[in-house]
A and B are shown apart, each in its own frame.
Chain A
């Protein structure tokens, strides 16, 4: 696993970087709208109606956006957790921790992609 992680590190780092980027830019906006402005009536709640969101999710750009905003932050989190583990002295178990972290991110990403694809087929 360690060897595989070393070989795949450039890809993992890109997924991590993408996740951090999306997390930094989109998640605060999501939280602001869904958590505060929509419930408080500052932005119209109709914007989040089922039909409208389904319409967004069913379009190609919307599908890509939803799959990316679910899966990429999972990779960012997985990479962070793995490195935090190393920082706390867990280098010897790095292979196992990496398998669990990246494995979970991979499963989560696959589920997100399948969920989005089901809207199309």
Chain B
């Protein structure tokens, strides 16, 4: 049986037509002990203030839409139990992103960065259907599988101090995803990607705070991907002096 008690949820509100700065509004609501933070937000929207804007979809930590700062930490609100917090919980939009309205942030810059890392298989020629499927051993798959589990929730961007300070930094998710394709045996685009990775805002801008891997809800470990990519870029860079065109 679910016990009902009260909690105060402090929510960041921002209406670009009326407010100059985001403000905080407190809602005292009845909560059930099995509620997630997202349930509290949905309750506020349904029962208290329908003007509240927040993104959510799947409620099972798959879609990556409901990322927010809960008591200052980037969390998927559908995966974060309300019972883990005291009587007052603060919910704010993801840090390091421009706010559109209330808890909704602008995704455009993030999407552009994801594209910059070229997260798709690049090969010199298209494989004919007659050649059949490409084979890949379990070991070859294991080299990148973890890095392909990203759900684009952007929690890592919110946690990363470099993203906050360097607007050009491609960021954990984009670099990890680019590295995922560099590690894929079917891909031939690593030298192209590595040029981007070695450029401004690439892997070497990462100062290894490791916050991205701490907050990642899917255990992608973007920080490990970036450190691996740094080493591969050093090798690639050194090769470019020894062998013309990096030995490609």
Residues of the B chain whose Cβ atoms lie less than 8 Å from the Cβ of A87? 161-162, 165, 207, 209
How distant is the Cα of A89 from the Cα of B198 in the complex, in angstroms?
22
Q: Which 6 A-B pairs have the closest CB atoms?
A: A83-B207, A9-B204, A10-B237, A10-B234, A87-B161, A86-B165
B230 with A6: CB separation less than 8 A: no
Interface Cβ pair total, 8 Å cutoff: 29
By the criterion CB–CB under 8 Å, are B166 and A6 in contact?
no
Contact between chains at A91 and B234 (CB < 8 Å): no
Chain B residues near A13 (CB, 8 Å)?
204, 230, 234
Q: Is B200 an interface residue (CB 8 A)?
A: yes
A14: Cβ under 8 A from any B Cβ = yes
The interface residues of chain B, by DSSP majority, are classed as helix
* Interface: B238 (CB within 8 A): yes
By the criterion CB–CB under 8 Å, are A91 and B238 in contact?
no
Across the interface, which residues of B come within 8 angstroms of A86, CB to CB? 162, 165-166, 207
Bitwise, A1-17 to B at CB < 8 A (1) or not (0) is 00000100110011000
Q: Is the CB–CB distance between B166 and A91 below 8 Å?
A: yes
Q: Are B161 and A9 in contact (CB under 8 A)?
A: no
27 contacts between A and B (CB under 8 A): A6-B198, A6-B199, A6-B200, A6-B204, A9-B198, A9-B204, A10-B198, A10-B204, A10-B233, A10-B234, A10-B237, A10-B238, A13-B204, A13-B230, A13-B234, A14-B234, A83-B207, A86-B162, A86-B165, A86-B166, A86-B207, A87-B162, A87-B207, A87-B209, A89-B165, A91-B165, A91-B166
Residue of A nearest to B201 (CB): A6
Interface string of A69-94 (1 = CB under 8 A from B): 00000000000000100110101000
Chain A residues positioned under 8 Å from B233 (CB to CB)? 10
Interface size on A, residues (CB 8 A): 10
A9 to B165, CA, bound (A): 19
- Within 8 Å CB of A6, what residues of B? 198-200, 204
Tell me how far the C-beta of A23 lies from the nearest C-beta in chain B, rounded to whole angstroms.
15
Looking across the interface, which residue of chain A has its beta carbon closest to that of B200? A6
Instruction: List 7 additional A-B contacts (Cβ < 8 Å) besides A6-B199, A10-B204, A13-B204.
Output: A6-B198, A6-B200, A9-B204, A14-B234, A86-B207, A89-B165, A91-B165
